[in-house]
Structure 1
Amino acid sequence: MSKAIRRTAVIGAGVMGSGIAAHFANAGLEVLLLDIVPPNLTDAEKKDTRPGGARNRFSAGGLEKAIKSRPAAFFHKSNARLVSVGNTEDDLEKLKDYDLVVEAVIERLDVKQALFAKLEKILPAHAIVASNTSGLRIHDMMTGRTEAFKKNFLVMHFFNPVRYMKLLELVAGPDTDPATVERIRRFGEDALGKGIVFGKDTPNFVGNRIGVHAMMAVIHQMLQDGLTPEDVDNITGVPLAHPKSASFRTGDLVGLDTFVHVAQNCFDSLTNDEDRAVFEVPAFIRTMVEKKFLGDKTKGGFYRKGANKAIETFDPVKLEYRPKGGDEGIKGVTKSVSKIEDPKERVRKIVADPGKAGQFAWKVASRSLAYSARRIGEIADSVVAIDDAMRWGYNWELGPFEMWDALGFAETVDRMEKEGIKLPDSVKKMRASGATGFYKDDTVYDLLKGAYVKREVDPRNATLTILRRGQAPVLKNDGAEAWDLGDGVLGLTFKTKANSIDPDVISMLSQAAEKAESDFRALVIANQGEFFCVGANLLLVVMAASQKEWGQIETMVKGYQDATQRLKYAHVPVVAAPYNMTLGGGLELCFGSDAVQAAAETYSGLVEVGVGLIPGGAGTMNMLWRALETIPEGTTVVTQEFVTQTFKNIALAKVATSAEEGKALGYFRRTDGVSFDRARQLTEAKARAIGMAEAGYHPPVPRAYTLPGESGIATLSMMVDTLQAGGFASEHDAKIARKLAVVLCGGAGGASREVTEQEVLDLEREAFVSLCGEPKSQERMQYMLMNNKPLRN
């Protein structure tokens, strides 16, 4: 048993340091954020030792930037209360009983060495010291340190932004105690939700070594082939199973100064690298850095918004901005390839293209694959480590070796050899052995051993494919299917586009609840794909509305109300596992579940007003009932405030940008679970469902609440009038809001009274159907279908 890591400190309050501190706070850890005392303080300022005073200006400023940052560094701004600030002159002594200290100061060896010398005299024996460096060697940083200090020292290399990037590279020094590494591995996985990759003490470790090489190779190849940045980004983004930001847009997001620093460090340090010339920064990029064209941070990098907000591109030849363009032939090919859902098929298709797009894709991909293979044994010992690093640190859909398998291992090796691309002997031997790919079933090819070895998989990361029992689903239709997940748990999964809700899904919800009650002890709703659920299938609503099929719409809405209520009162526990976009009907589904095991990055909200409607799948009622459910029976409470806040959340279409913010807005219960690592969400949701079943689950009893009636409607109407008068709401916004007010207040024409769920459901359904008949609502729905963004009319 090792001491739990509870008290943490981060030294260095820059972008990385403050980001690390914020994520530690997200994990519920106490954090002390330190930085140097600002130079050139006045005599009065030198005496200002208040937490937000002059001596702590740098650390306090770093925390403030983290609180205001977009994308947000904290799951919820209240998490910042766990972070206190200080400086390295006055507050180092506070670290005498801390468990973990992460150094994120300037990348200067002398500065780091001096800091470690001070920490060595203060820290307790159990404390771990970690550096977030990516360019300095552990051997050099540890010069002059004691054996005891070295034993508890390692590199924890986070990727920016820390909250969102799963990769955490751990690098041990020659004297690091294996127990220290294991302690941090468990901490990184369990507390922080990170994916761990073990690297070696080489420049830029694993992710940046491969990632920067790939990007630099792309830039040099672009110059050689005479392509434009737009051409390159069209090829190296989605078609090559990389993020939409591709190469140059990614550079703008990271910052050209940061990118140049990392590339230059590789060029300076990797004197024996056979591809060292790739890391040499081209002259046009150095010109951009000199002119402070650094990317998004300076409102202009490889791309910028010019006159009339038109996008402009920095021309690498003319060294000036020009209107964004690109080769139309390349655009056509890459646009077609990007529509292919399967990333493996995408890379095969783009590389097979005989034109400019395919030729360029092959050149840069093959060079990156071969370089990755040559690095095995130098930067990491397994192909899995490199693949994980690129998926988790660079958001590639396929790591280099996964891409290699997708292209065909043998065919790719043969083509590389034919074209004179240098391959390591280990890959040649692998080809000669008849191996069919790096990954085969539950094994992976070990290039150092020259054989397939069993792939180690964390059982907590089990996918639906792994958990499913039997050869066929228990229930199935065109929109959804339910599988036996073992241990008495039935798992329901949608199969519609973006996991939207259609009649088949609605039907399956009720069927699954009934099947779970008869043959299982719990039901888990766990979808796959990019989004958990983007809401109802809007096309069906638009088609029915255009044909004035009001009865069809009402039947559909009542069907979903009945389905969510069926889940809510099922005689087995129902657990939803939302992630990413969980909007409209997707959130209503969570309301109908007994509990939620949400991914930390769950973006939830009732956004129906954006398409001219209100929540119609029991969402309006259940959102309010969630707010009221904590009121003890018999307590005299004026419910107007609860109604008003629910009204604001729905009328303003507030979207929570994390699971924790979803709790704060009342979309999830405070007792609901949050999975920091999405890979573990399914097993954690299943465990939650089993726990509820084994604890003696019984369904809830329906409750009625006293709603404000006419007086509440009048109060909310005044709020709407104010918004409309101030130009914050259109006339149609106001119409929608007033209908919503009637539903939430329990109906028009009466005083405050006790209202049942069914009464509110009837009001909700009536308002939804009536809004479907409004021309402006139909315009909003059609615009959303055509443009994938809301219309304000």
Structure 2
Amino acid sequence: MKPIHRAAVIGAGVMGSGIAAHLANAGIHVVLLDMVPPNLDETKKTDRAARNAWAQGGLEKAVKARPAAFFHPSFARLVEVGNVEDDLERVKDCDLVIEAIIEKLEPKQSLFARLEKLVKPSAIVASNTSGLRIAEMMAGRSEAFRKNFLVMHFFNPVRYMKLLELVAGPDTDPAVFERVVRFGEDVLGKGIVVGKDTPNFVGNRIGVHAMLATLQGMVEMGLEPEDVDAITGPAMGHPKSATFRTADLVGVDTFVHVADNCYASLTEDEDREVFKVPAFARGMLEKKILGDKTRGGFYKKGKDGQIQALDVKTLAYRPKGGDEAIRKATKAIEKIGSPEERVRKLVADEGKAGAFAWKVLSKSLAYAARRIGEITDDVTAVDDAMKWGYNWELGPFETWDALGFVKTAERMKKDGIALPASIEKMIAAGATSFYQGDEVFDLVKGAFVKRAIDPRSATFSILKKGEAPVLKNDGAEAWDLGDGILGLTFKTKANSIDPDVISMLSLAAAKAEEDFRGLVISNDGDHFCVGANLFLVVMASGQKDWESIRTMVKNYQYATQRLKYARVPVVAAPWGMTLGGGLELCFGADAVQAAAETYAGLVEVGVGLIPGGAGTLNMLWRALEGIPEGASINTQEIVTQVFKNIALAKVATSADEAKALGFFRKTDGVSFDKARLLTEAKAKAIGLSESGYHAPAPKAYKLPGESGIATLKMMVDTLVAGGYATEHDAKIANKLAVVLCGGAGGASREVTEDEILELEREAFVSLCGEEKSQARMQSILMTNKPLRN
């Protein structure tokens, strides 16, 4: 597969700039072009900066975007800007050109006619259209151009949404299509769904239908937006943003545009009337009530800081409320861990929540079944599109299985909901579910077929060998992952670190040294590890049991050190929240293979403490390890930066930002697709083992001592004087300064690891005895909100 090194993105709006940013995240050099702003002043018509203003503005918005479009602001250096009048010829050097201009046929056709004269024969040209037909866009284009053309439909925000829909035209070269599949999966980390050239393809065809069926159901049952969001959120296996918060995030105008496109183009669709936008949504457009972009949509924050909801009958805001019975029922259901069990409980509810859930789900599931053969031939593609593009926990067919395939089909027929003949044939064939082990029912062929599963996308449960774990206690398990690798995984709530986990770290390291050639630490759940079990620390502090706290801290310090000096390579595979003790665990590994979306930081000051699992030692040591031996350098600046990262509780918003902050090494790996994280971490452990791994030797570094402490204290005092920090913040920071500078009462000297660990331990225990630190810990436990006291 010929690699793609350089790309052009034409159109610097939200989608175009987002695509350019993510290409840059993947190390691709990008040319971002847009129109020359119309009606330029005569004095600026030859000014390149003025002519490039739209493209430059798109890039700047991407850099400032929240959530961030770039993994790190420095990645923006890979993006060059220009305009389509002066710079279109720059596409000559590009391997890939992606069009993301206005969603109108004529401008696209005109652009493709110009591109045809410029792109090199091997270049791929793609459109990010969400609904226009390839045949129409390619009218008048040569066969050579058409064979290198396809649709690459990204979902917004591009960095975070895994779905990439690919649609081939009748003349697209299969080799070109496969090249883009490999690029999308392996380089961009996307989940590929292959759709047919039909309006809004797969994700938006099913998703917009589901949303509009939900809006119509709300009107029919007389519910409020808050009621609908309570039902169609986590209780249904959908994200917390549910229906109307999602509409606010996407933009009501964008949603209406997609729905209108469906209604206009789907003249033969039996559910065409479902795509008719309700009158209240039209009214919102007229009044510019568009969602977050106008600081008000279905919800907005009032002047008093309270959330208000839109009355869809009057388009006036009122205090957020909703039906108490619905809220009570759905809150109870949301606490269930399994999404399958949640949706079963929801539909079984005998009140309004259950009635509404069945009303919208039954329509959506039946519609998805009727679309097989039209928008895609694969039920898995529909499920993946909704999980990757809409963040549903279960796709439509997985939801159907959860509710009971035959029972649900019979209830639909009883309610007069039309089912396709393929479902009837499926029932007649004796099938009881769409998914059966590693097979899926093919509604087109009428039989079960093997699922196309990428072996690199393997979970812990898939990789583990044998009937039982190699090691086990209440907090963690260690399993044989094959190829000589031992895998350690936590079983605690939120993968927090407790005495059982601490014990297992040392046991797993010893077992790996004895019977394996490497150790990988990988967790399931919502996040990798949220840190230490704070409840245990609060309980011991309340009982003034300082010795048990000191023992627990010492055990964790030496557990992370045990990993660090294990005689086999240790690889940590973090993702999501990797905070406090979770990051300290990564410090103890020889290498990290992190998911791109890893949010790491030492945040202990927020609960009135400092890191207590060798975090101060190992973060400082990592910052100092690149200094050549014999170099005469004042380590104060390095110590100061580590101090800032910990004292300000900085949290990296990507794995690459974690590298920039010194949380991960520059050589650590980044997995763009989290589904491949475990297999890539395992491969890294094997690679280290096969390349002559030897455990490192303990180090000692020269630290600033008393003068460094004084410098950091001066900095803290300035923050307190300016009102940026409290007196208790200062107390915590000053204790941290003593640890990082190698202890009080002496000049600059070489300090050993054990000395730092003892300083860290004593500072941690002493802060546990502070009343204000205890109050901070209790606030997090009781309200999940930090307390600044």
Scaled to the shorter chain, the TM-score interval is over 0.9
User: What's 1:609 paired with?
Assistant: 605
Instruction: Report matched runs for 1:210-359 at 5 Å.
Output: 210-359=206-355
Of 668, 685, 695, the residue aligned with 2:681 is: 685
**Which residue matches 1:696?**
692
Q: Secondary structure at the match of 1:40?
A: coil
Matching residue's letter, 2:152: M
In the aligned structure 2, how far is the partner of 1:67 from the partner of 1:319?
35
Letter in 2 for 1:68: K
CA distance in 1, matches of 2:761, 2:303: 47
Q: Distance in 2 between matches of 1:362 and 1:693?
A: 54
Query: Residues of 1 paired with 2:412 and 2:546: CA distance?
Result: 62
Write the distance in 1 (CA, Å) between the matches of 2:209 and 2:613: 50
Of 484, 500, 507, 2:503 maps to 507
How much has 1:464 moved relative to structure 2? 1.0
Structure 2 counterpart of 1:11: 10
2:40 is matched with which residue?
Answer: 41
Q: CA deviation at 1:214?
A: 0.3
CA distance in 1, matches of 2:275, 2:655: 40
Tell me how far apart the structure 2 counterparts of residues 190 and 44 of structure 1 sit (CA, whole Å).
47
Instruction: Look up the match of 1:561.
Output: 557
Q: Distance in 2 between matches of 1:498 and 1:209?
A: 35
Give the C-alpha shift of residue 318 in structure 1: 2.3
Amino acid at match of 2:242: A
1:378 aligns with 2:377: no
Q: Which runs of 5+ in 2 are unaligned?
A: none
Q: Report 1:169-184 matches (<5 A).
A: 169-184=165-180
Distance across 1 between alignment mates of 2:313 and 2:16:
37
2:547 & 2:360 partners in 1: Cα distance? 57
Contact 1:3 1:126 in 2 (8 A): no
* In structure 2, distance between residues paired with 1:116 and 1:319: 43
Please tell me whether residue 714 in structure 1 is matched to residue 710 in structure 2. Answer: yes
State the 1:712 CA deviation: 0.1
What is residue 777 of structure 2 aligned with on the other side? 781
- 2:25 maps to 26
Alpha-carbon distance, 1:171 to partner: 0.3
Please state if 1:148 is matched with 2:144: yes
| Matched letter for residue 226 of structure 2 | E
Q: Deviations over 1:509-557 (max 9, x none)?
A: 0000000000000000010011100000000000000000000000000
Aligned to 1:130, the other structure's residue is in SS state strand
Shift of 1:605: 0.0
Q: What per-residue deviation string (whole Å, max 9, x for no partner) do you get for residues 570-607 of structure 1?
A: 00000000000000000000000000000000000000
Which residue does the alignment assign to 1:72?
Answer: 68
**Counterpart-to-counterpart distance in 2, 1:36 and 1:740:** 53
Report Cα offsets for 1:699-756 as digits up to 9, x if no partner. 1111100000000000000000010011100010000000000000000000000000
Letter in 1 for 2:96: L
Letter in 1 for 2:50: A
**Deviation at 1:185?**
0.3
Q: Who is 1:421 aligned against?
A: 417
Shift of 1:108: 1.0
575, 579, 582: which one pairs with 2:578?
582
Range 165-174 or range 319-328, more displaced: 319-328
1:740-786 per-residue CA deviation (whole Å, 9 max, x = no partner) reads 00000000000000000000000000000000000000000000001
Aligned to 1:595: 591
Give distance in 2, aligned partners of 1:429 and 1:464: 36
Q: Give 3-state SS (helix, strand or coil) of 1:460's partner.
A: coil
Counterpart secondary structure, 2:340: helix
Corresponding pairs, count: 789
* Separation (CA, whole Å) in 2 of partners of 1:736 and 1:280: 59
- Structure 1: distance between partners of 2:437 and 2:356: 32
1:457 to 430, 446, 453: 453
Find the aligned partners of 2:527 and 2:3 in 1 and give their Cα distance. 35
Q: Secondary structure at the match of 2:373?
A: coil
Give the drift of 1:44.
Answer: 2.1
Q: 2:95 corresponds to which residue?
A: 99
Pick from 439, 442, 457 the counterpart of residue 438 of structure 2.
Answer: 442
- Residue matched to 2:181: 185
1:312 aligned counterpart, secondary structure = strand
Kept in 2: contact 1:616–1:765 (CA 8 A): yes
CA offset at residue 74 of structure 1? 0.1
Task: Give the aligned CA root-mean-square deviation in angstroms.
Answer: 0.6
CA deviation profile, 1:449-490 (whole Å, cap 9, x unmatched): 000001111111011111111000000000000000000000
Q: Letter of the aligned partner of 1:518 in structure 2?
A: E
Name the amino acid aligned to 2:324.
E
Structure 1 distance, partners of 2:343, 2:188, is: 32
Counterparts of 2:332 and 2:353, CA distance in 1: 12
Deviation at 1:43, TM superposition (A): 2.1
Deviation sequence 1:390-431 (CA, Å, 0-9, x none): 000000000000011011111111111111111001011101
Segments of 4+ moved more than 6 angstroms: none
Per the normalisation by structure 1, the TM-score is: 0.99
Task: Give, in angstroms, the shift of residue 638 of structure 1.
Answer: 0.6
What SS does the corresponding residue of 1:266 show, helix, strand or coil? helix
- The one-letter code of the counterpart of 2:234 is V
One-letter amino acid of the structure 2 residue matched with residue 588 of structure 1: E
Residues in 2 aligned to 1:775 and 1:439: alpha-carbon distance in whole angstroms = 55
> What is the CA-CA distance between 1:319 and the residue it aligns to?
2.3
Q: 1:56 is matched with which residue?
A: 52
- 1:746 paired to 2:745: no
| CA distance, structure 1, for counterparts of residue 642 and residue 766 of structure 2 | 21
Distance 2:362 2:694 in 1: 58
Return the match for 1:736 from 728, 732, 746. Answer: 732
Secondary structure (helix, strand or coil) at the match of 2:622 reads helix
1:97 deviation in Å? 2.1
Residue number in structure 2 paired with 1:543: 539
Partner SS, residue 649 of structure 2: coil
Q: Distance in 2 between matches of 1:282 and 1:771?
A: 58
In structure 1, distance between residues paired with 2:506 and 2:280? 61
Distance 1:286 1:372 in 2: 26
1:318 and 1:82 map into 2 onto residues whose CA distance is 49
| Helix, strand or coil at the partner of 1:597 | strand
Following the alignment from structure 2 to structure 1, what is the Cα–Cα distance between the partners of residues 585 and 622?
A: 13
CA contact (8 A) 1:312 1:321 kept: yes
Q: Distance in 1 between matches of 2:461 and 2:716?
A: 49
Deviation at 1:495, TM superposition (A): 0.2
Q: How far apart are the structure 2 equivalents of 1:750 and 1:133?
A: 66
Q: Deviations over 1:158-214 (max 9, x none)?
A: 000000000000000111111110010000001100000000111100000000000
Whichever residue aligns with residue 448 of structure 1, its letter is V
Identity %: 75
Any idea what SS the aligned residue of 1:33 has?
Answer: strand
Q: Which residue does the alignment assign to 1:410?
A: 406
User: For 1:633 and 1:438, how far apart are their aligned partners in 2?
Assistant: 63
**Which consecutive unaligned segments of at least 5 residues does structure 1 have?**
none
1:135 corresponds in structure 2 to 131
TM-score, length-scaled by structure 2:
1.00
C-alpha distance in 1 between matches for 2:43 and 2:566: 67
